[in-house]
Structure 1
């Protein structure tokens, strides 16, 4: 080895290409092999060291760029946060174009959006909210506390019929500065931060428009917001129906976004959307049916909603607990879900839209028992027409047929649910009249409680700790309250009020008590918790979403989505 080292030393001291070649050629065969091995090993070692050093001292971060296209199965008309949304197209567009003080995190909580901080005073009855610095509307105008106040005044306006109108009328809101707002509640309210997720409207755009003329404004289709994406273009068909939206990243949004463009394509049904999906024309699609597709990840997301057959408990027939119990026993929930929304929900027997309650579902389907209950209650089929009847009072000779109607929004899946329930109830002698309605008439009937039974999904805007006060407290019996079951129970009222006002970290026991009381009273039949099957191109990184209260929540963290990554040196 010594001669080799001496020759190598001389070789490197007199380094030149010519000398390198001649020096190498001057080595013996054995020395050439050893020398070559050392050179190769050294090169590999240096490469590995360099790679290790590079990867140890750099990190991957999202890089700007990329275009995403989502398919939506509905058509938008009013992209306006203070006009109640009619479909998921409007919910999605508003979540992309507008921003809020706080926004849903997709896990049942909220994240600061335009709010920089929140401070609580007076045992949770006063909230001071400070806005971020340098926040702007898409037209470049600064966003201030005045825009927030302007939006809240619109939400309270009865002409717009916003379901949160009465809620905000009970809260005093003051502007302390351009960047600071003070919210004063009459009593402490655990869920108040969740109600700060309303989307903010630009005062300078809308202040001169009369509320009754809002629906005619061009800004409903060409909105100016302050969200992560701003309007670029709209495409409509010959009938004026919106078939696509083009949005671009808003470079003055406080955090991102990384994707430079976000497109939405609108379809009338799942079949048309799936056709575009199979042709690779879109990157994302939410459908009711689960499935698999190469290069797409399927995300199963539970909605913060319980789809139910609610009884109008002021109805004379439905005041009878025996009838309510018989109806509950008669409905085959497994068949209802599998025939109407296969693979798109979890069966439940609870009014509480939490996974742990649906996981404890107990199937009580028993039509034989239902028939016995009705028979014991005096219902008989004397005219042998297949349906039961009886005299409701000994003072009358009039025979009343056991016939009830179901009000529902006329859409394919819900229509299937109604028809299945009609079949199940007919099997025990209960006649059912189906009353499908368009969205406007359906909404009107809900407000006036003009129904005997109604198929409805009750959605809580809150995730892990749902606020069920609007749906089950007796103070909400009439419109604009949302107690559509017209249900009254003083113990339930106490628990709902306690949940709203308590500062206790753990309120699980209260939910358990609430669940037991409502189940015992049977103000409705709780059917299933809907699930969305969301296919997303696996090339895109999308933050996890556990459950949602509306379609827009899927996009509440869209500023964090990215397609590309790059390496940068650690600081």
Structure 2
């Protein structure tokens, strides 16, 4: 088949027992057919074709394996940091200065050596762009060819995660057209991009790390239904597919389901509607979701597993805090859901009653109803929104579901609940969601306008702490400390529903090793350097 791969985010964990590196890299060419070392992948549901091209500074590969570019650090299959370009790093006592040493044996695809100047240029350029969020960076300076110093505006210990997600671009070859013809130092070189159709990459023969088995990757930009049809007809080796196809059978192919930390949750605007507007003139506040009783009733009354079984065809896991599976998640904040009776009681005790017999509760003339928005191109979110509306009806709460473009959602998110997707190994996401001063009317940072001084204190302690145990403890306390927190047991700020599974159909002989933890947007190719074909492995053993 042709070759194609797209949007990776992980790293190899070395599942190569009994197989030499030479064999995996294609060293024994007589045993590896040219076709077997090519990969065609249809991936478009999550991530999809990059609008601004393969440019890390405008978002390409952020939180995923960028293929073309290298990063300073990577994360292994357990989510632990490992070196890529970086060889070591240090942090000043005040947490404001980070010094990173890099390898001295790396070249860009055009043969020019990669130095600390390129690293500093990449981060400084990204900090002044809107494509990625590294606003904490004051500036980066190359101290010598292989040492770069980062000065921060705020002592954020989580800055280490930024060093693992931004691909390094060459200062000498960067301009406004870079995304259309990128040069990097990663495991694959860019070959061509037929916009709206495909992108092609080939293995970098000068790559400093483990050489990939697949010498050519072809990424086909397809929607999920089309991708599944392409897999059935034998046109692709790998396709990302929707959960509705989980039980399909295709000769010569297998379906693989990958767990993720990609959680789906619903924002609850926490301010009442008093007529306030954002600086852009968008309405702020919602009189229904600003009532904590409504928020708590929905959290404990809906049956998350029923939502997963129905809307996601069983492809997901219950989610209660948005970070249940992560080291900084608080298990004490998890609660029993599906308790319709208890939800009904707290609603009734607070004065929410159905006085006109229409099945919808009222209080002081206000109906217990609101609109829930989802991005109109997201099938899983639409399905979850519709299923949630049905569950909420059992509680006497009427949720009106509407699909909108992101441009429309931008104008409504401060006053209307939205079903979002989040999932990162970087706890900075928690800080941006719940820290009161992170509110930004031009972004989704603390879009609910949450303000709890106790939670703020935990979040600041966590993000500035260089001790990981102390940081994790404070992230957890921010969710629930026994008295307050952002979780349902405290202020019930969000309605978290499920972490989704990512579903792929692929050739039976395709061995994808041990995939990395799947973040929001998926990272199927995060460990592409480990991939092989089982027929080839058998032949060369």
- TM-score using structure 1 length: 0.74
Q: 1: distance between equivalents of 2:298 and 2:446?
A: 20
2:462 is matched with which residue: 495, 499, 504? 499
1:453 is paired with a residue of what secondary structure? Answer: coil
Q: 1: distance between equivalents of 2:199 and 2:261?
A: 28
Work out which of the two has the higher radius of gyration on C-alpha atoms and give 1 or 2: 1
Q: 1: distance between equivalents of 2:130 and 2:90?
A: 31
Contact 2:185 2:207 in 1 (8 A): yes
Aligned to 2:440: 478
* 1:373 correspondence with 2:346: yes
Name the CA shift for 1:202/1:154 in 2 (closer, same or farther; >3 Å): same
Matched residues, number: 477
Q: 1: distance between equivalents of 2:539 and 2:41?
A: 28
Q: 2: distance between equivalents of 1:494 and 1:161?
A: 28
Matching of residues 41-56 of structure 1 within 5 Å: none
* 1:154 correspondence with 2:113: no
Q: 2: distance between equivalents of 1:476 and 1:92?
A: 21
Q: Residue 134 of structure 1: CA displacement?
A: 3.3
1:180 is matched with which residue: 143, 147, 157? 147
Contact 2:257 2:501 in 1 (8 A): yes
Larger fraction in helix: 1
- The superposition leaves residues 54-74 of structure 1 with CA deviations (integer Å, 9 ceiling, x where unpaired) of xxxx97334334112222134
* 1:135 correspondence with 2:106: yes
Q: Residue 245 of structure 1: CA displacement?
A: 2.0
- The superposition leaves residues 420-451 of structure 1 with CA deviations (integer Å, 9 ceiling, x where unpaired) of 22222233332333332113333x237xx433
1:478 is paired with a residue of what secondary structure? Answer: coil
Aligned to 1:452: 416
Q: 2: distance between equivalents of 1:84 and 1:445?
A: 23
Name the CA shift for 1:560/1:407 in 2 (closer, same or farther; >3 Å): same
Aligned to 2:259: 302
- The superposition leaves residues 175-220 of structure 1 with CA deviations (integer Å, 9 ceiling, x where unpaired) of 101221012345654332211121122323334x4xxxxxxx4x43
Q: 1: distance between equivalents of 2:420 and 2:522?
A: 20
2:113 is paired with a residue of what secondary structure? Answer: coil
Contact 2:198 2:219 in 1 (8 A): yes
Q: Residue 162 of structure 1: CA displacement?
A: 3.2
Q: 2: distance between equivalents of 1:497 and 1:412?
A: 36
1:96 is paired with a residue of what secondary structure? Answer: coil
Q: Residue 366 of structure 1: CA displacement?
A: 2.8
Contact 1:288 1:343 in 2 (8 A): no
Q: 2: distance between equivalents of 1:92 and 1:376?
A: 45
Q: Residue 93 of structure 1: CA displacement?
A: 9.1
Contact 2:192 2:200 in 1 (8 A): yes
Aligned to 2:314: 343
Matching of residues 378-417 of structure 1 within 5 Å: 378-391=351-364, 399-410=365-376, 411-417=378-384
* 1:83 correspondence with 2:58: yes
* 1:557 correspondence with 2:503: no
Contact 1:349 1:358 in 2 (8 A): no
Matching of residues 359-370 of structure 1 within 5 Å: 362-370=335-343
1:531 is matched with which residue: 460, 479, 501? 501
Aligned to 1:199: 167
Q: 1: distance between equivalents of 2:250 and 2:417?
A: 40
Q: Residue 112 of structure 1: CA displacement?
A: 1.8
Q: 2: distance between equivalents of 1:163 and 1:137?
A: 22
2:388 is paired with a residue of what secondary structure? Answer: helix
Aligned to 1:250: 204
1:231 is matched with which residue: 170, 180, 190? 190
Relative to structure 2, which stretch is displaced further, 428-437 or 548-557? 548-557
Aligned to 2:431: 469
1:248 is paired with a residue of what secondary structure? Answer: strand
Name the CA shift for 1:490/1:188 in 2 (closer, same or farther; >3 Å): same
Name the CA shift for 1:150/1:503 in 2 (closer, same or farther; >3 Å): closer
Q: Residue 353 of structure 1: CA displacement?
A: 4.0
Q: Which runs of 5+ in 1 are unaligned?
A: 1-57, 210-216, 236-240, 392-398
Contact 1:81 1:94 in 2 (8 A): no
Q: Residue 304 of structure 1: CA displacement?
A: 2.6
Q: 2: distance between equivalents of 1:268 and 1:503?
A: 43
Aligned to 1:542: 512
2:403 is paired with a residue of what secondary structure? Answer: strand
Q: Residue 549 of structure 1: CA displacement?
A: 2.0
Contact 1:191 1:467 in 2 (8 A): no
2:75 is matched with which residue: 81, 104, 112? 104
Aligned to 1:44: none
Q: 2: distance between equivalents of 1:416 and 1:266?
A: 23
Aligned to 1:283: 237
Contact 1:309 1:456 in 2 (8 A): yes
Contact 1:60 1:565 in 2 (8 A): no
Q: 2: distance between equivalents of 1:496 and 1:91?
A: 24
Q: Residue 308 of structure 1: CA displacement?
A: 0.9
2:486 is paired with a residue of what secondary structure? Answer: helix
Q: Residue 528 of structure 1: CA displacement?
A: 0.9
- TM-score using structure 2 length: 0.78
* 1:418 correspondence with 2:391: no
RMSD: 3.3
Q: 1: distance between equivalents of 2:22 and 2:538?
A: 6
